[in-house]
Amino acid sequence: MEPTGLQALEVLISEHEIAKRVDEMAARITATIDCSEAMAVVALKGALILAADLVRRLPALRAIDFVQARSYGHGTESSGEVRILRDVEMLLTGLDVLLIDDILDTGLTSARLKSHLESQGARAVHLVTLLDKPSRRRVEVQPLITGFTVPDLFVVGYGMDFAERYRDLPYIAVLNPGEEHA
């Protein structure tokens, strides 16, 4: 029996499906970008697990750095305001940047991060995202590659959270906020 107070979850994308798709994403990236002239910038905290799995499949990346932005807080709806909480530490000048993010939703966070990294001298910023919710888009953003397109549901797992919970799940699940486990 699971602890009380946890929200009811329904598996949307299995651990096996994710692993297979991450392999495909890595193959597409290496066919498109010279990894020896690129670095990964991981959007914390949600993309950490995707990035760990993905960068191990990318040969000779120059470096890995991290950026953190917030638009959700502890709710399930984006506030619309994107704040950068942690900036990259490395110089991006003249490099291709793989911006690894967990989910492309409204596009506000991805667009803000892409613009921010370009302003720091990146030659190009290529968005790589595990999930895409095109029905929620408010800003046009074109990813280099997306793992899965998902409907307008609040999802958790594989790094994504609800109030800092569920990041450790090895799969993607739909959060049903009105229901709790028995």
Confirm if 4 and 180 have CB atoms less than 8 A apart: yes
Contacts of 16 (CB under 8 A, 6+ apart): none
What does the alpha-carbon distance between residue 171 and residue 157 come to, in Å, rounded to a whole number? Answer: 6
What does the alpha-carbon distance between residue 95 and residue 91 come to, in Å, rounded to a whole number? Answer: 9
- 105 catalytic per annotation: yes
| Catalytic site residue from 53, 101, 102, 105 | 105
Residue 158: which of 49, 82, 3, 63 has the closest Cα?
49
Residues labelled catalytic: 105
